[in-house]
Structure 1
Amino acid sequence: MSVFGGTAPHKVAVFVRDGALPIETGIVHRLFGQARDAGGRALYEVATCALAPGPVRTDTDLGFTVPHGPDPLVEADTVLVPAAQEDYVERPHDPLAPELAEALGRVRPGTRVASICSAAFVLAALGWLDGCRVTTHWRSTGFFRAMYPHIELDPDVLYTDNGRVLTAAGVASGIDLSLHMIRTDHGAAVANEVARGTVVPPHRDGGQAQYVRRPVPEPEGTRTGAARAWAVEHLGQRPTLAQMAAVASMSVRTFTRRFREETGVSPGRWLTARRLDRARELLEGTRLTVDDIARRTGFGTGASLRQHMHAELGVSPGRYRRTFGVHTAQ
């Protein structure tokens, strides 16, 4: 039995906008459309809607012909808003046109609403994310924080669930979020069957931190830059704060203060991040054992590397290698 009660299919409205990402719209239809009860009855009724019926431009050469205007929003039990190309344009003000606000204003109070990827900006502009813990695509987190500093943003998770308000991090995170909602509504058995039919795991380990591109090389021309470059070259020797300060020809106290000013973090925190960067490179591109990688990156032991990877990325070294390793399929 659905947590929403009743026997009628749960109504899902997918609200698309010009510049829509076809994959995100398709995810919702594919997953919710597969959900069936034990008797084979469809558990969801999915309707795609827009500001007006008719053609909707996408971010590809593939267009949509949307059958509905905003009317399905009024009767929907769940409203999903996928991302659109315009969400990625940084603006000094809320990216919400009056007609868009008017259309989404038809959503009934208490309706479950969810965003995929950068559509979190739309929900935030409507005030629907106030008081919630949310996420969005990692490339948009800086802009999101600048626009909505009062909203708690978690950039490391695949999705968040605040009860009636949910957000997903990126394109494929729409799969994770959809399966989570199906699981919440109808239990693990139904969600697992949908996952099997889509050939995806019912759960993904870790958060989006593991997908973030590693930082670019350290900037040059700073007082602590030479010490940072030296430390990166000697990670396996477990460089100390005193050694780094000596390379920079500073006292430990002055070096620590200057380091924080230039990087925004402590030397210890920075070293851990660089060790993880190097460990990820070795996990992706070599067949070295976890213990060997731990020694080469200054973690010392495999147990220490596992602990830090779980804390920072939410996955084990083995799981990370199976996901990203170039030798995995060989």
Structure 2
Amino acid sequence: MDNLNNILFINTGGGIGDALTSVPTLNYINDNLKPKNLYYFSTDLGNFWFDTKLQEYRPDNLITVKNFPEHFGFRDHHIKVSKDVIKNFEFDEFDLIIDNQTRFKNTLIYRKIPHKYYVSPCLNYLMSKPITFMRKREIFANRIIDYFNKIKKLNIKPNYKISIPNNFINEAKKLIPNENYVGFSITAGHPTRIKEINYEEIIKVANYFSDKFIPTFFIENKFQELIAKIKQKVKKAYFPEDQSSAEFKKPMLVTALGSLTKFNITIDNGISHMLSFSDNKNYIFFNNSSKKFQPLNDNSFIYDCSLNNTSIDKLTSEKIIEFIEKN
């Protein structure tokens, strides 16, 4: 696989966390395949994260694809039009398509897009060209990297190193001037799923660490009732984004702030992915599925409740503190 000028990366997950999860793979592609153009398609319903809220995480050669059919790959009739989407580009075929999902129907549709090479973990990579067979790992961040490591005989880990822009670092240093802070992210983006630790237990954890550190919460303004409760019950509770200028209220500020704390405590949510790029020690508490969504950097310490015979909403402050102090 040489001279890969135009690569299409398909990431069907549409949330901001899904986009952030793909960044280490995008970094790997650029570091090892060195494409001229890296086209990125996601079923994000027009959010186009790397052109908006995640612009600072965006690789320089990334081009967001905005002209594929809505929900492309998820509708049966798309198989009739997938060959024609190449007309939206100034070339006749992609040098490589990387299909970072495992649904068989979607893969059949995406493989119709004209290409030279095709990589997908679907059916344990048997839909790929060049074809190979290996069992896909549960960990999402390694699926594509495993394939290229095998065929290129490499042993390279996902790359979580990003350059935090100086203006965000300077803003973060104004808000967190030293290491006497501990970051907390405790709210889930999907309230229908059990992802959150009981708030009373989090308050106990925050007060435990408040003797030495300032408990610093990364919480969106929409959680006003929770914010008021924390301010009332947690000693020295601090909400740095409240003090930030409007221009910096973006995910990159969380990454910058998270890089300056002593360490961070988070659940499985979008902010945990922002913190994974902070190059700091992060303790992430999963209810389950940690093997699929956990970051693969050396600074992430994972507590999977399902492996410890409990549920995250039943997790006690004592267990949380014990896990942190042991790691």
TM-score by length of 2: 0.30
Larger helix percent: 1
| Bigger Rg over Cα | 1
What is the TM-score normalised by the length of structure 1?
A: 0.30
**Greater length-normalized contact order (CA 8 Å, ≥ 6 residues apart):** 2
